Amino acid sequence: MTQQMILESIEINGQSVLVPAGQSVAAALFAAGISIFRHTHEENAPRSIFCGMGTCFDCLVTIDGIPNQRACMTLVHSGMKIRTTANEND
């Protein structure tokens, strides 16, 4: 018996993508080729996944208009809109 993968349609920085249901936002971002999620305010240092378990807050992104959400602790859902801030300074 084979299992069917359920896909969710989400938006990452304005681009529509399909991702497996139950995947974390961080995993979805990496799968989309985004490895830098934000930069620090003072030193403009790139940040991404560090702890992967919700304690370091390095993976903050904006989800459905709400800033500073931990990508490693949030699961994707259909229609989710994710924005990384790394590209806003470009």
Instruction: Verify binding: residue 57, ligand FES, rule CB under 6 A.
Output: yes
Among the listed residues 35, 55, 78, 87, the single contact to ligand FES using CB under 6 A: 55
Say how far apart CA 38 and CA 9 lie, in whole Å.
23
Residues 6+ apart with CB under 8 A from 2: none
State the binding string over 6-45 for ligand FES (x if CB under 6 A, else -).
----------------------------------------
In terms of C-beta density within 10 A (0-12 exposed, 13-18 middle, 19 or more buried), how is residue 65 classed? Answer: exposed
Task: Give residues in contact with ligand FES (CB under 6 A).
Answer: 49-52, 54-59, 70, 72
